[in-house]
A and B are shown apart, each in its own frame.
Chain A
Amino acid sequence: MIVRILGEGQFRVDDDVAAKLTVLDTDLDSAVASENEEEFRAALGAAERLVRESGTRVPDEEFVTADYILPFSDATVAEVRKLLADGVIPGDSIGLP
């Protein structure tokens, strides 16, 4: 599975790691829903450490899309809520004729 950490690039992780990530994702989800900054930081930190330590970087020559995208390591709940609500990424016009 491919995981991107925003600001850090893509990593390839195996099924075991993917399973652990799915569990952490539940924590992330509830932290974002309840706007609990502390829980959010803990879950995000754990998920990103796991990806960095157990994953391998996707080489530059490889163009793949991520199955999971983790927020910036210093992101706040408010920032993630905004991204999820707006669904807008800056530079939307890029690549469009």
Chain B
Amino acid sequence: MSVMKRVSLIFRAKANKALDRMEDPRETLDYSYQQQVEMLTRVRRGVADVATSRKRVELQMNSLQKEVTRRENQARDALGKGREDLARAALQNKAGLQGQLNDLQGQYAQLQDQEEKLTLASQRLQAKVDAFRTKKETIKATYTAAEAQTRINEAFTGISEEMGDIGLAIQRAEDKTAQMQARAGAIDELLASGALEDHVGGQQDQIQAELDAIGAGSDIDSELAQMKGELSANAPRQIEANANGESGATEATGTQAAERPQAGDGS
């Protein structure tokens, strides 16, 4: 049998089972209405949950993006210092992080989609529940219990299908959110522990440590050069006139001081 038909039969079976159990149809209308209102609350909570989840993924995407940028800067820094090996390691690291980020972006889109659909579903249910309330009052006011039966059955089966639809939609959204939260929790932990680097197979700490070491090394080198410059500038000053020697020292210091920020850049 066809898929579309089989699904519709499942929904009908559910409504019929409910109808079979009804004793006083008119009271059941009120009870059913209460349940619909509860369903509305559930679907709205579902929308809020998906939104919370989406925002969390958004924050994680921002954190990952920052890490990606940091690795890129490290690579540039390392290349500037002639360390292609470090630059390569930083870029490998970046690729791993970028993969995580792309993955999160896909999930973000899915959550956004779920949120949108669930919002529409909640609006649809609200309209349907309002219409049901009107119908319920009309049935109760206009018909005797016997006459009302058919109309109640119609209204009941109609709303039952709608409720089943929304029920499935909420369940899907909950499943998606639960999956996402498990992943988000894992990524949060990784980001917090700084273990994300290891996780993606890189060695961020070592890269940074080596870059820092190069930075510190060049600082020392340039300080040494500066001192040497001062010394050699001072030597002729003792022999020659004071004015000449001082201007030479200023020049030398100025040149070497200008090199320092370059050497220590990014460290």
Q: Contact: A89 with B22, CB < 8 Å?
A: no
Q: Nearest A residue to B156 by beta-carbon distance?
A: A95
Measured CB to CB, the closest approach of chain A to B139, in angstroms, equals 11
Whether A63 touches B154, Cβ cut-off 8 Å, given contacts A6-B169, A90-B168, A91-B39, is: yes
Chain A residues with Cβ under 8 A from B13's Cβ?
87
B15 within 8 A of partner (CB): yes
Instruction: Give bound CA distance, A6 to B164, whole Å.
Output: 9
Chain A residues with Cβ under 8 A from B161's Cβ?
4, 65-66, 69
Whether A69 touches B31, Cβ cut-off 8 Å, given contacts A4-B165, A95-B156, is: no
Q: Nearest B residue to A66 by beta-carbon distance?
A: B8
Instruction: Give bound CA distance, A47 to B130, whole Å.
Output: 30
Measured CB to CB, the closest approach of chain A to B149, in angstroms, equals 14
Q: Which of B127, B158, B167, B169 contacts A64 (CB 8 A)?
A: B158
Q: Which of A32, A68, A87, A94: most chain B CB closer than 10 A?
A: A94
Q: Nearest B residue to A3 by beta-carbon distance?
A: B4
Chain A residues with Cβ under 8 A from B132's Cβ?
63
Instruction: Give bound CA distance, A60 to B17, whole Å.
Output: 24
A22 within 8 A of partner (CB): yes
Q: Contact: B121 with A7, CB < 8 Å?
A: yes
A53 within 8 A of partner (CB): no
Q: Contact: A65 with B14, CB < 8 Å?
A: no
Q: Contact: A84 with B3, CB < 8 Å?
A: yes
Instruction: Give bound CA distance, A60 to B113, whole Å.
Output: 24
Q: Contact: A71 with B7, CB < 8 Å?
A: yes
Q: Which of B1, B4, B167, B169: most chain A CB closer than 10 A?
A: B4
Contact with B along A5-33 (1 / 0, CB 8 A): 01111000000000001100110110010
Q: Contact: A97 with B27, CB < 8 Å?
A: yes
Q: Which of B11, B28, B36, B130 contacts A65 (CB 8 A)?
A: B11
B44 within 8 A of partner (CB): no
Q: Which of A9, A65, A74, A95 contacts B124 (CB 8 A)?
A: A9
Chain A residues with Cβ under 8 A from B124's Cβ?
9, 60
What 10 pairs across the A-B complex have the smallest Cβ distances? Answer: A63-B158, A91-B167, A68-B4, A90-B167, A69-B7, A25-B2, A89-B164, A69-B8, A60-B127, A95-B32
Question: Residues of A with Cβ closer than 8 Å to B?
Answer: 3-4, 6-9, 21-22, 25-26, 28-29, 32, 47, 60-72, 74, 80, 83-84, 87-92, 94-97
Question: Residues of B with Cβ closer than 8 Å to A?
Answer: 1-8, 10-15, 17-18, 21-23, 27-28, 31-32, 35-36, 39, 113, 117, 120-121, 124, 127-128, 130-132, 134-135, 154-172
